């Protein structure tokens, strides 16, 4: 998403009250080895 502060603001605006537990996690993920596999994912 856009960034922690922006995401927190969007969640609060949507009515979520406990967004203070929001924690950023940077991790590489693999959703396929090519476009077709990624779409199927």
d(C-alpha 1, C-alpha 27), whole Å: 14
> Residue 1 has what pLDDT?
62
Q: What secondary structure, in 3-state letters, does 1-41 show?
A: CCCHHHHHHHHHHCCCCCHHHCCCCCCCCCCCCCHHHHHHC
> Residue 39 has what pLDDT?
93
pLDDT tens column, 1-41: 668 888 888 888 999 887 776 677 888 989 999 999 999 98
pTM over 0.75: no
d(C-alpha 25, C-alpha 1), whole Å: 12
> Residue 22 has what pLDDT?
67
């Amino acid at each position: 998403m856009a960034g922690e502060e922006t995401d927190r603001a969007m969640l609060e605006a949507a009515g979520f009250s406990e967004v203070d537990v929001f924690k950023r996690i940077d991790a590489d993920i693999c959703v396929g080895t090519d476009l077709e596999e990624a779409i199927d994912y």
